[in-house]
Amino acid sequence: MLELAGVSLSFVGLTAVAGLDLRVADGTICSLIGPNGAGKTSVLNLISRFYTPQTGQVRFNERDLLKLPPHRVVEIGIARSFQSPTLFKNLSVLDNLLVGAAHLSKPSVVEDVLRLPRSRQHERLARERADHALEFLKLEAVRDRVAGDLPYGHQKLVDIGRALVADPRLLLLDEPAAGMEEAQKQWLANAIMHVPDEYGAAVLLVDHDMGVVLRVSDNVIVMNFGSKIFEGPPGEVRHQPQVLAAYLGTERGGTVHDAQA
C-alpha cells in the first residue's frame, strides 16, 4: 500500500534520508526505529509531504504521493499524530476530534449555515466517529474539557484520536509513547495493536520505546544515518549486531532491550 523506493532527502549538506526503500502492507503495523538523528521523523514528514525528496518515489495505493500538496494527503487516507501534539488548545477535546473529520465530506457553506440535510449527515457521521475514538482511547471523561488544559499524555491521545477520526487507511504515529508513564505505555501499545482491526488502517510507528515497538509491530525497520540497516520481524531485531552497534557504539555489549533511548 505505502511504498518508498530509493528515497533520498538532504538539507544543505546534511543527509537525512539516503536511498531508503520501505513498504507498509495493508492492515499491518510497521515500526521505524533507530538512534536520534537517524532520519525516522524525516521519513514521516516525507510521507506527509512536508518535505519533498531529491530522488526516489513515494506511492500510496498506486498513487504518486509526491504530486499532492500536504493538505491533500489526508484526503487519500493518510493521517498522522505529532511528536509534540499540535492540538487546537482552546477547543474542547470533542471539537478537536471533529476537526479531524473535516475532509470526509464537503457540504457547501450554505448547507452548513442553514444546517441542510447533507450538512447534518456529515455532522452525524463526524460525531459517530468522534464518539468511537473517545471510547477507543478511553477519553470519554475529558470529552468536553479544553484540550490545552489536559495533561501531556492525554493530549497525545487526543492527537491520535483526531487522526483516527479522519478515517485513514494508513496511520502515522510519531513517538506516541514519549513522555508517558509505564502503565499508560502498555495500555497505548494495546490500543495501537487494535487499530488495524478497529479502523482497518495500517500503522507506521516511530518510537524510541523498544518495549512498545517490539510488542505491537509486524515488521521493524532499523535506520541509521538515513539508511536502512535492518528489516525484519520484531523477534530478530534485538540480536542483530549492526543494530546493537548503531545504538550503543561497538565497544559495549548488551541487548537493545536494555538500551531504551
Partner 1 sequence: MVQFGQDVIGGLGFGAIYALAALGLVIIFKTSRLVNFAFGSMGTAVAMILWTLLSAVRLPLVAAWLLALVGAAVVGALTDEALLRRIEQAPSLIQITITLGLFIGIEGLVGVLWGYTPKPLPELTSGGSLRVGPYFLTPDQLLIVALTLVLAAALHFVLERTRLGLAMRAIAQDRDTAMLMGVPTRRTVALSWAWGVLLSGLAAILVAPAVSLSPTMMDQIAVFAFAAAVLGGFGSLAGAIVGGFIVGIVGNLISAYLSTNFQLTFIFLLIVAVLYVRPHGIFGSAAQSRQ
Tell me which residues touch partner 1 (CB under 8 A): 48, 70-71, 73-75, 86, 88-91, 95, 98-100, 102-104, 106-107, 109, 112-113, 115, 119, 122-123, 126, 148, 162, 166
- H/E stretch holding 31 reads strand 29-33
The terminus-to-terminus CA distance of the chain in angstroms comes to 30
d(CA 176, CA 157): 8
Residue 129 or 228: the one with the smaller Cβ distance to partner 1 is 129
Residue 12 or 109: the one with the smaller Cβ distance to partner 1 is 109
Residue 34 or 168: the one with the smaller Cβ distance to partner 1 is 168
d(CA 76, CA 29): 19
Smallest distance from partner 1 to CB 59, Å: 20
Smallest distance from partner 1 to CB 108, Å: 10
Query: β-strand 219-224 against 29-33: which pairing, if any?
Result: parallel
Q: Which ranges of the chain does DSSP label H, i.e. alpha helix? A: 40-47, 93-100, 109-114, 117-136, 152-165, 182-199, 210-216, 234-237, 241-248
Smallest distance from partner 1 to CB 91, Å: 6
Residue 61 or 92: the one with the smaller Cβ distance to partner 1 is 92
Task: Estimate the crossing angle of helix 117-136 against helix 93-100, to 10 degrees.
Answer: 120
d(CA 259, CA 171): 27
Query: β-strand 219-224 against 170-174: which pairing, if any?
Result: unpaired
Residue 112 or 218: the one with the smaller Cβ distance to partner 1 is 112
Smallest distance from partner 1 to CB 45, Å: 11
Residue 38 or 74: the one with the smaller Cβ distance to partner 1 is 74
